[in-house]
Amino acid sequence: MKTHLILSAPLTGLALLSACSPQKEEAKKPLNIVYIMTDDHTQQMMSCYDSRFAHTPNLDRLAKSGVRFTNSFVCNSISGPSRAVLLTGKHSHKNGKIDNEAVFDGDQQTVQKLLQQAGYQTALVGKWHLESTPTGFDYWKILPGQGDYYNPRFITPQGTEDYDGYVTNIISDISLDWMETKREKEKPFCLFIHHKAIHRNWMGDTTHLAMFEDREFELPVNFYDDYEGRPAAAAQEMSIDKDMDLIYDLKMYREGEKSRLQSLFTRKDGTQGTYGRMNAEQKAAWDRHYLPIIEEFYRNKPTGRELAEWKYQRYMRDYLKTVHSLDENVGRILDYLEKENLMDNTLIVYTSDQGFYMGEHGWFDKRFMYEESMRTPLVMHLPAGYDKRGDIPQLVQNIDYTPTFLDLAGVDIPEDIQGVSLLPLLKEGEITDWRTSLYYHYYEYPAEHAVKRHYGVRTGQYKLMHFYNDINVWELYDLQADPMEMNNLFGQEGYKEITDTLKTELARLQEVYDDPIRHRAQ
């Protein structure tokens, strides 16, 4: 199902409203879009999804004013490709950004270009991570690569600019300044706010370093997963126990200690690491917090399972500090939109580029098609005329964002876009015609974390995936009976019929999405 509005020519400003659906006709102002995306924020660490760990009152406030998608997924769980999917509404093999190394082709059709042509002002602030120069934006200011948590540098069309402060605050400052002083306020706008947070290595604002230090977090029940029957899972290199670095990830640096990873202090290319970019006040706050922890760690250095569980506790605390800053800054954006009376004519979207492992299966990072990384949070505040509130259970995917934004703006959705508009789900009434399966394809191997290439299909109850390239392994899960995906049912007695059905559906999706892998899939 794809929603199309047929227009004879691009419309702008208030003229756009007369071509929209009845819901849009009720609006008195052009409809704006504020899209907030974080990096590696997982549903488990957002309290409107899971209250065990995080308290995110501003993100919850956003969900309470609109909708929460309970089955929101990505189609390639890695940062750069996920961002390309957002901009194009197409799977990775169609937009060309299959992994973090590929360069995104900025000449191709993107949502921001289509909105520009319809009279929208477009802006991007924060993380880009597409190895090319942004196109289709009237205003952009991006971090180079992953960027720095402290005193970050930004790239602009005019050159580079250095800022003092914490990156999450600065991205919000720039975004608020653009909305207040740089846009033409009589025109509709689409603003992408792309945060560096909550990316590895989880460095909190100096004002938040003491937070969560008194918390002890319960281990996931499968923290000591042995990966029986799942050779691809056994081959990964993203174990908290074996692969989480004491210095780079957990900040346990002291003179003479070596890290196998890029240092916090000096990068491989000789440039300053994040600690080196800090000013004297920031370093003093950092040292006051971490030096006693470092001293205690090396005085009574744990080993074995005690060390693995110590790493988990430090990981959780540092991750939550970055979540806290992010939530505060979402609150700043919401406060501004409320103050300027923009809530009724603005769609506000919050999501992440993918999910993340918080110790499930003993892991950090993402990449796998397993639930924790394929799932992503998605909440929306809806403009006037869209009356849906509460949970939306239908299967949605990040290929759907582009057609949703175009549909909201009254712009025709090009035929080659592979996602579908979510607007029908945002209206009251029964939905009888919606997708019942999702397609996933991960490509980045060999590479960091050693996650094998794989593709698969997910339905409401089952998941079938095929690991390929240097391995030929299938996995099948009943997500109702085994939500943590511990028991691979592929080849087991009694599952041939469902396996055959899922293989047929997988082949159908590969055909529909025109994935070249279909010619080699068995």
pLDDT in tens, 420-431: 999 999 998 888
Answer yes or no: do 361 and 465 share one domain: no
Say how far residue 278 (Cα) sits from the centre of its chain.
Answer: 27
Looking at the fold, whether 515 and 418 belong to one and the same domain comes out as no
Least confident of 242-256, 301-315, 469-483, 500-514: 242-256
| pLDDT tens, residue by residue, 315-366 | 999 999 999 999 999 999 999 999 999 999 999 999 999 999 999 999 999 9
Task: Of 290, 433, 450, give the one whose Cα is nearest residue 368.
Answer: 450
User: 477 lies in a domain?
Assistant: yes
Domains in the chain: how many in total?
A: 3
- Whether residues 30 and 138 fall in one domain: yes
Confidence of residue 1 (pLDDT cuts 50, 70, 90): very low
Q: What is the pLDDT of residues 421-458, one digit of tens each?
A: 999 999 988 888 999 999 999 999 999 999 999 999 99
> Would you say 413 and 400 are in contact if contact means Cβ atoms under 8 Å apart?
no
- State whether 22 and 124 are in the same domain: yes
| Shared domain check, 306 and 244 | yes
- Exposed/middle/buried for 418, CB within 10 Å: 0-12, 13-18, 19+? buried
Q: Which of 290, 315, 340 is the last residue of a domain?
A: 315
Cα→Cα distances 158→122, 136, 142, 181, 515, Å: 17, 16, 12, 18, 39
pLDDT of residue 20 exceeding 60: no
Query: Cβ of 258: how many Cβ atoms within 10 Å?
Result: 8
Q: How far is CA 311 from CA 217, 289, 291, 362, 406, in A?
A: 11, 17, 16, 11, 44
Residue 289 counted as domain residue:
yes
The span from the first CA to the last CA of the chain, in angstroms, equals: 28
What pLDDT was estimated at residue 185? 94
pLDDT at 17 over 60: no
In a domain, 207, yes or no: no
Provide the residue type at 478 as one letter: D
- Interhelix angle 304-339/167-177, nearest 10 degrees: 20
Same domain for 170 and 98, yes or no, is yes
- 3-class SS at 483? coil
More confident residue, 268 or 515: 515
**More confident position, 143 or 262:** 143
In a domain, 219, yes or no: no
281 and 326 fall within a common domain:
no
Band (24; pLDDT cuts 50, 70, 90): very low
Whether 2 shows a pLDDT value over 60: the answer reads no
- The band of 111, judged by pLDDT with boundaries at 50, 70 and 90, is very high
* Amino acid 44: pLDDT: 97
How many alpha carbons lie under 13 Å from residue 327 in its C-beta half-sphere? 21
Mean pLDDT of the chain: 93
Residue 341 Ramachandran class (φ > 0 left, ψ -120 to 50 alpha, else beta):
left
Question: Token digits for 231?
Answer: 């050779």
Q: What is the pLDDT of residue 271?
A: 72
Do residue 79 and residue 184 come from a single domain?
A: yes
Pair of tokens at residue 293? 């922890």
Number of C-beta neighbours around residue 39 at 10 A: 25
Q: How far apart are CA 280 and CA 278, in angstroms?
A: 7
Average pLDDT (132-144) is: 98
Please give the pLDDT value at position 518. Answer: 75
- What type of residue sits at position 238? M
State the pLDDT at residue 274: 85
Residue 296: count of CB within 10 angstroms of its CB: 10
**Which domain does 311 fall in, by range?**
235-315
In a domain, 403, yes or no: yes
- Percent of the chain surpassing pLDDT 70: 93
- CATH code of the domain in which 460 resides: 3.30.1120.10
> Is residue 146 over pLDDT 70?
yes
Q: Are 162 and 230 in contact (CB under 8 A)?
A: no
The verdict on 45 and 148 lying in the same domain is yes
48 and 117 together in one domain: yes
Each residue's pLDDT tens digit, 362-394: 999 999 999 999 999 999 999 999 989 999 999
pLDDT at residue number 269: 73
Has residue 14 got a pLDDT over 60?
no
DSSP letters, 314-332, are HHHHHHHHHHHHHHHHHHH
Residue-wise over 43-62: b if at least 16 C-beta within 10 A, else e?
bbbbbbbeeebbebebbbbb
- DSSP-derived letter for residue 398 is G
Assign 12 a pLDDT band (cuts: 50, 70, 90): very low
Place of tokens 């030929």: 472
73 and 97 together in one domain: yes
> What mean pLDDT comes out for the span 147-170?
97
pLDDT value, residue 454: 98
Whether 138 has a pLDDT exceeding 80, the answer reads yes
Question: What is the model's pLDDT at position 273?
Answer: 84
Q: What are phi and psi of 194, to 5 degrees?
A: -110, 105
* Torsion, Cα of 310, 314, 320, 321 (10° steps): 160
In this predicted structure, the answer to whether residue 272 has a pLDDT above a threshold of 80 is: no
Average pLDDT value for residue range 134-148: 97
**Confidence (pLDDT) at 214:** 97
> Mind listing the pLDDT tens digit for each residue in 171-208?
999 999 999 999 999 999 999 999 999 999 999 999 99
Nearest to 202 by CA among 315, 285, 310: 315
Last residue of one domain, picked from the residues 288, 315, 342: 315
pLDDT confidence bin for 19, thresholds 50/70/90? very low
- State pLDDT tens for residues 51-62: 999 999 999 999
% the chain with pLDDT above 90: 88
Residue 265's pLDDT is 76
3-state helix vs strand vs coil in the chain, percent to 5: 35, 15, 50
Angle of CA points 438, 109, 134, to nearest 5°: 105
| Domain of residue 160, CATH code | 3.40.720.10
Question: Looking at the domain assignment, is residue 436 inside a domain?
Answer: no
What confidence tier does 395 reach under pLDDT thresholds 50, 70, 90? Answer: very high
Same domain, 332 and 289: no
Does residue 438 sit within a domain? no
What is the maximum span of the chain, computed from C-alpha positions, in angstroms? 73
Supply 480's token pair. 């109702």
For residue 37, what pLDDT is reported?
98
- The last residue of one of the domains, among 287, 315, 343, is 315
Question: Is residue 212 in some structural domain?
Answer: no
